[in-house]
Every structure is written in structure tokens, then in C-alpha cells.
Amino acid sequence: MHTMTLYSDPNCAQSHRVRIVLGEKDLVFNVVNVNNTDSNEDLIALNPNNTTPTFVDRNLVLYESRVIMEYLDERFPHPPLMPVDPVIRAKTRMVLHYIEKDLYGLLDDLKSSGEKKSSAAKVKLEENLMFSLNFLQGSKFFLSDDFSIIDCSIAPILWRLPEYGIELPKSGKAILQYADRIFERSSFMDNLSEQEEEIRGEF
């Protein structure tokens, strides 16, 4: 069986969520660690934007994490990470849009050297995470008792909270318990980069 290759930034939450999906599918793949600030000739030859994650499966080259994740779920349908029902699938895509816009969309500002911009993004990220409590009521994972592509997407953000300097209030306990359920999965733990492991040295 051929081996797939993922060009992955070991510090990048977008790359991280693709690695989790690959782990959930129990796929054999090579990881080429690439820092997005560097030029990688092999990566540039595949992806002129020189961005991670970039995924190679035979002659197919994909970039943009959402595209890669949905391809993997369709190409390797077991276990499914997207619901079969079209209504629930549409709701899942709406939540993914929320996560990408209102969580991932804040990361560049959060890492900004400008203290005012960084502080504002930190406050907004915490607010948006607390809002996500609405999606966790009465279920083991996001919107469901089944682990899904949504959980793969939000997990890298939750893992990085110490790095972002965010400590959720006591009213956010359900979010932290939810995070622990994800962090215990082998698909998560087995696909952490060394840099990601250092974020939480106790794990």
C-alpha cells in the first residue's frame, strides 16, 4: 500500500487538525515538518503558496486543512467523521464555519506583536469558546455522542490554551472536561508534534 505524505507545521493548529483526522482513520502516512516561515523546495514544487498543511496522495495534491479533512473522510469512510444525514451534515458544516471564523480566525491577531491587538483577540477567543458551551449540552462531543470532524477541528485550539495565556473560568468546566475526552484519544496523543507536546508537559 502506498504511503501518503503530509507537509505539516509542527506549531500550526491547522496542520494539527489534519493529523488528528489521519489518526482517527488509522492511516499510515509520512510527516514532513515544515516551518511556514521557511522555504521548502519540495513543498513549493507541490504547492506554489508554500503553505501547510499540504497533503499528497499519489498524484493528488491538496492544501487547505478543511479540503484535506473532507477528502480523507470521503476517501476513507470508516470511521465516519461527517454525518450521513444531509440536515445534520449541513449543521456540522455551519459549526465548522463558526470554528474557522470565530476561533481560528483570531489566531493571527492573538500572536500579533501588537499588545492591544493580541489582548483583544485573547478576550474574544475566550468569549467564543464559552459560547461553544451551547453545543456541548447533554452530549459527549460537539453536537453529538459520536466523535466528528468538529472535534478534530476544535481540539488543537483547546490544547493550545496555555500557550495563548487563556484560563477558562469555572463556568467553563464542561469545556475542559470535553477537552480531556479528546486528549485521551490515541488519534490525538499519537499525532502530537514535539513542539505541541511541550505545550502541556504533564501529558
Tens digit of each residue's pLDDT (9 = 90 or more) over 1-16: 578 999 999 999 999 9
99-113, 132-146, 166-180, 183-197: range with lowest mean pLDDT: 132-146
Average pLDDT over residues 35-39: 72
Tens digit of each residue's pLDDT (9 = 90 or more) over 134-168: 888 788 999 889 999 999 999 999 999 999 999 99
Judged against a pLDDT cut of 60, whether residue 27 lies above it is answered with: yes
pLDDT of residue 36: 67
Domains and CATH numbers, the chain: 4-75 (3.40.30.10), 86-186 (1.20.1050.10)
Name the phi and psi angles at 114, rounded to 5: -80, 115
% of residues, the chain, pLDDT over 90: 83
19, 30 in Cβ contact below 8 A?
A: no
